[in-house]
Amino acid sequence: MTMFIIKRLISILITFFIVSVIIFLMMHAVPGGPFDGNDMPVSEAVRAKLMASLGLDKPLHMQYLNYMWGVMQLDFGVPFQSPGETVLELLARAWPPSLLLGGMGMLIGVPLGILLGMAAALRRNSWIDYLASAVATLGLTIPVFVISMILILVFAVWLQWLPAKGWGTPQSWILPIAAYAMIPMATYARYTRSAMLDTLNKPFVTVLRAKGLSERRIIFQHVLRNSAIPMVTVFLPMFVGIATGSIFVEAMFRVPGLGAYFVSSIRNRDYPLEMSLILMITIMFCLSYLISDIVYAWLNPRIRIEGRKE
């Protein structure tokens, strides 16, 4: 088991480095730096001075090495667009909104999705089943920004119940959270429904019924446990995806979170911020996959026991 973890960590590190090199090269491959195409053109001399002060005049591999060396020490540099703080500080400032809305989205979406899925599995071919399937499919098929748009159009423009811009009053959080909640809800509804249906059809459930166990006990103690594994393993990556801020939801609702800063960092060619964001998000995804794999291997008795036999 430990070997497995170590091997995966190494593989993650290697992937991480390769990704960082590729992104670094990509960013610098396009001509033009942070001071070109601005509203205020700067003279050549001033520009050269500014570039030097930011270390942009050094050869590429030096820039890369300097940057990665800093990353090792958790120093991600200073963003161009707000030199008053380090990248870390800016991220610390920008993250809470994403985390808050995303987290609440998951908090609402996951349980709702599970309930919907359970209801659908237990009352097959009833209206609940169709509703749940419809919700699941729509939530996963329609891109999140279209969903956001629909939510805005219906609730903010037409019915005028809720504000369209989402960062100020708690009311303004409702729509973004609803948008965030769609994907987890749809995913979990679908997973729960299919996993439960699979399990309910297994012979051991018939045996349990024959033994006389109450339906409720069967469901909660036996069926749910068996269905739980895929649902648990998908949780962490999904959380990472949402917690790092959906770019579109934030753009549409004007939320000052990670996603918004990512967009602006690209527009402004803010290299440190861009790199750091992508690297951080990539590492978080890698780690979340690793943890999910470990949790899965641990939870799945077949793998756990076989692992011990080695």
Partner 1 sequence: MTASDITEEKHYSPLYFIWLRFKGNRAAVVSGVVLLVLISMAVFAPFITIAGYDEQKFLERGLEGPSSEFWFGVDDLGRDFFSRIIYGARISLSIGFISALCTVLIGIPLGAIAGYYGGWIDWFIMRIIEIFSVVPPLLAAMLLGALTQGGFLTVVLIAALFGWVQVCLLVRAQVRSFREKEFVRAAHALGASPGYVIWRHLLPNSISPIIVGFVLAIPLAMMLEASLSFLGIGVQPPLPSWGQMINVGMNFMFFYWHLAVFPTAALAITVLATTFFGDGLRDALDPTLKDR
Q: Which residues would be at the binding site for partner 1 (CB under 8 A)? A: 11, 15, 18-19, 22-23, 26-27, 29-30, 137-138, 141-143, 145-146, 149-150, 152-153, 157-158, 164, 241, 244, 247-248, 251-252, 262-263, 266-267, 274, 277-278, 281-282, 285-286, 289
State which residue, 143 or 307, has the beta carbon closest to partner 1.
143
State which residue, 143 or 168, has the beta carbon closest to partner 1.
143
Question: Shortest distance, CB of residue 258 to partner 1, whole angstroms?
Answer: 10
Give the separation between CA 278 and CA 262, rounded to whole angstroms: 9
Query: How many Å from the N-terminal Cα to the C-terminal Cα in the chain?
Result: 10
State which residue, 99 or 142, has the beta carbon closest to partner 1.
142
Tell me, what DSSP letter sits at residue 166? Answer: -
> Residue 306: which residues within 8 A CB-CB, separation 6 or more?
none
Question: Shortest distance, CB of residue 18 to partner 1, whole angstroms?
Answer: 6
Question: Shortest distance, CB of residue 238 to partner 1, whole angstroms?
Answer: 12
Residue with tokens 């089943």: 129
Question: Shortest distance, CB of residue 151 to partner 1, whole angstroms?
Answer: 11
Q: Which of 272, 283, 287 is nearest to 19 (CA)?
A: 283
Q: Which of 77, 47, 93, 46 is nearest to 270 (CA)?
A: 77
State which residue, 116 or 258, has the beta carbon closest to partner 1.
258
Question: Shortest distance, CB of residue 159 to partner 1, whole angstroms?
Answer: 12
State which residue, 218 or 263, has the beta carbon closest to partner 1.
263
Give the separation between CA 293 and CA 103, rounded to whole angstroms: 22
Question: Shortest distance, CB of residue 146 to partner 1, whole angstroms?
Answer: 5
State which residue, 47 or 254, has the beta carbon closest to partner 1.
254
State which residue, 208 or 258, has the beta carbon closest to partner 1.
258
Query: What secondary structure does DSSP assign to 102-148, as a single string?
Result: HHHHHHHHHHHHHHHHHHHHHTTTSHHHHHHHHHHHHHHHS-HHHHH
Q: Which of 83, 74, 92 is nearest to 270 (CA)?
A: 83
Q: Judge whether 222 and 208 are in contact, CB under 8 Å.
A: yes
Question: Shortest distance, CB of residue 189 to partner 1, whole angstroms?
Answer: 16
State which residue, 86 or 268, has the beta carbon closest to partner 1.
268
> Residue 13: which residues within 8 A CB-CB, separation 6 or more?
none
Give the separation between CA 302 and CA 194, rounded to whole angstroms: 21
Give the separation between CA 278 and CA 263, rounded to whole angstroms: 12
Question: Shortest distance, CB of residue 262 to partner 1, whole angstroms?
Answer: 7
